[in-house]
Structure 1
């Protein structure tokens, strides 16, 4: 390794040669018996599970927590900023890294994960992270994987130590990492901006159609705050009794069938395009659509049948608690039959339909109603039967006019993130293998996003 630091050539090394000199630099999570349900507390040291490795770097939500004392009992499984975490059992191939700006100073990895600490005088941890996310890195990581029973990497620690890669000078590593990090940070920024815009839209939806704030203000003889006079005038000024309790006068409790059509179009063996851009449930999460998969019609999965149009809302009916929903903002997409497709009756209902059908309460209802132990699902008709407050057309039109800009801007952010992710995925294997110079990668990025 002394030659590695000084040389400008790429040198083949193993992970074992790059590990940190600290004790337990590579370590498995604790055996299941050492973390029990009764050990979890409401706050403390977070436990990293496979679900936290489903995005870039580390998804810092839905943690279980341990006390400081319990975490110290499991000290060999503690992961710190710039440590890598990989899944060795279950959803094998998952890779994450704890960023320097992580929310917590330390974490504990679960029994299905490995934590890897590297010597940063020899290697950039981010370089290893990106290597393991490349096709070649995944191949080497899963060389000793077994798919019998629960998928697992055999002799996980030994296998991981033996992984080899070609490594350039540390300065070159950092330059490569900088290109990829710049793209990933911009992707994360776009997703965060889209999430914030959608959160504002959801708060306004709740104010108007769940809490009835404008109606309550008028019933109290006050002007609804933040509303233009012409929009405020559209709201009633009193409540009437209903099976839901008090509702604004003239509004009614119905189902989404009042504002949507269910699964309005499907491809058939006689009517279909030559090529489809296919969305499976795995491509969709919490309003974000990943890049669709292209298939010729002959090669497409048999479930690739739902015709999707801009403005449709799609909701996964299999394991609906996984929140596989989105508002379609692209053309020429085909969805899985695992989606319920809701097409708004008119453009005025587009935003209302999306927010009403994908609210936390609506998704929790579907998750509760899902049948089947191994394959819990609901029928599409159950999605359409979601209850909703239905108002007059003018209120719907006003709501659309107020939030359409937010939803459209969020869609632009998501689409730009998809473009950046495609560029990153194109450049990653070439940069990480030395087949593409950093300068050339930067030129490609500038040309595409200029």
Structure 2
């Protein structure tokens, strides 16, 4: 530790406010936003999943409001706690969640003296493995639930540089986060453009309205198009049933990441940092067909009936030979002579009409499952080859850019996670980190 750094307890630097137990019967479609722990992502808040309450009612709970750049930490999670559990999760409130109300099982933290203690530096301090390790070991449990006391959070001890260096450190780490966020926003825009084009062409038939239409079992479609089964345009296989004793909890050399349903986002899309399990490559002999490559499409075959968010939805793999697919995830690979490539299949399998039809074929129970036959026999509209080729020519560059941005984010995230503990401990100084940053950005 540098000589001029001073040691503090977290409780000396911040003031706090616990969340409130808002009643579910208050929830409605519009009004003030309620942020639950389940609405948080790895670093932020997903506003699209938040519930709302009446604005007039919300006015009685002003003290539970959170602000842009506030720090929120989850105080309850599953037992036993580990480095992937919810308890101890730290997020920074984004601009779009400014003024929201914080629900129970979380606490809001805010620096007492911004002129002496930088809010962003405190956030990065709490994102460090040192703090996470401290929280995991401080957690207490009963039954299947883990919790952390506020006193344990406040007793976390660390060393701190002066405010100028705090701001410089936070600026370096923020620059990496800002670039990551920019790439995410670019990808979101490209994904929205691709889906909008898919709907315009293949749902509304916009470019084909002047042509002749014919009846089909899926409604009227342009003449020359066909209704086929999904297996006519893709090759389908179930993921492999790995034995739990084979799986590793930490990454080692010469291992594959296990692709599970936790890697599929709500509503579709790839969550590359989802469920974390690994397996040694030497234990995967003869399983080449399960090793994923760019353009592979992965479908969730199981979900919970009361909270169905991913059943039938798919993720698009963006790199080769890193993941191997687990059971209850379907692997779809494009295979046809119709000119269809992976963008069409990916967009199709995340379209509302397809999802609705597919889910109607699922079994009923607490856990809802899709059978291999239900997936393979799902009805789809297959345009003529000329249309498919034109669609590919437009959308393939979108996904090439999306993949490039996603891979760049992996590099930036790795750099940020490497620099973070070294910067906040003084092992790496600002000047050296700035030089590294200038070479990357």
Which band: TM-score by shorter chain?
0.7 to 0.9
Corresponding residue of 1:385: 377
Q: Deviations over 1:112-171 (max 9, x none)?
A: 2111122223322222221222111112233331343343324x2222222222211111
1:430 and 1:373 map into 2 onto residues whose CA distance is 50
User: Aligned to 1:253, which of 201, 213, 227?
Assistant: 227
1:19 and 1:375 map into 2 onto residues whose CA distance is 43
2:355 and 2:422 map into 1 onto residues whose CA distance is 41
User: Aligned to 2:88, which of 71, 87, 93?
Assistant: 93
- Map 1:120-269 onto structure 2 (within 5 A): 120-154=114-148, 156-216=149-209, 218=210, 237-263=211-237
C-alpha deviation, 1:374, in angstroms: 5.9
Q: Secondary structure at the match of 1:103?
A: helix
User: Is the aligned partner of 1:321 residue 2:309?
Assistant: yes
1:128 to 1:384, Cα distance in 2 relative to 1, 3 A: farther
1:13 and 1:263 map into 2 onto residues whose CA distance is 55
Q: Secondary structure at the match of 2:137?
A: coil
1:244 to 1:369, Cα distance in 2 relative to 1, 3 A: closer
Judge which range, 369-378 or 109-118, deviates more: 369-378
1:77 to 1:265, Cα distance in 2 relative to 1, 3 A: closer
User: Is the aligned partner of 1:62 residue 2:49?
Assistant: yes
Q: Is the 8 A contact 1:44 1:68 kept in 2?
A: yes
Q: Secondary structure at the match of 1:242?
A: coil
C-alpha deviation, 1:73, in angstroms: 2.5
C-alpha deviation, 1:325, in angstroms: 3.2
2:159 and 2:136 map into 1 onto residues whose CA distance is 18
2:186 and 2:356 map into 1 onto residues whose CA distance is 25
Size of the aligned set, in residue pairs, is 408
User: Is the aligned partner of 1:335 residue 2:316?
Assistant: no
Q: Is the 8 A contact 1:258 1:390 kept in 2?
A: no
- Map 1:35-114 onto structure 2 (within 5 A): 35-90=22-77, 91-99=86-94, 102-114=95-107
1:375 to 1:266, Cα distance in 2 relative to 1, 3 A: closer
Aligned-CA RMSD value:
3.0
- Map 1:401-420 onto structure 2 (within 5 A): 401-420=393-412
Corresponding residue of 1:297: 281
1:376 to 1:176, Cα distance in 2 relative to 1, 3 A: farther
Q: Is the 8 A contact 2:5 2:159 kept in 1?
A: yes
Q: Is the 8 A contact 1:288 1:414 kept in 2?
A: no
Q: TM-score, normalised by structure 1?
A: 0.81
1:304 and 1:338 map into 2 onto residues whose CA distance is 18
- Map 1:360-399 onto structure 2 (within 5 A): 360-363=352-355, 375-399=367-391
1:321 to 1:371, Cα distance in 2 relative to 1, 3 A: farther
Q: Return 5+ residue gaps in structure 2 as ranges.
A: 78-85, 244-252
Q: Is the 8 A contact 1:142 1:153 kept in 2?
A: no
1:304 to 1:169, Cα distance in 2 relative to 1, 3 A: farther
C-alpha deviation, 1:360, in angstroms: 3.7
Q: Deviations over 1:271-329 (max 9, x none)?
A: xx9642443333443423526866423678xx998221222111222337247732222
1:184 to 1:39, Cα distance in 2 relative to 1, 3 A: same
Q: Deviations over 1:235-266 (max 9, x none)?
A: xx111122222121122222211110002896
Q: Deviations over 1:26-46 (max 9, x none)?
A: 222123xxx223322333321
Larger radius of gyration: 1
Q: Is the 8 A contact 1:48 1:110 kept in 2?
A: yes
1:202 to 1:238, Cα distance in 2 relative to 1, 3 A: same
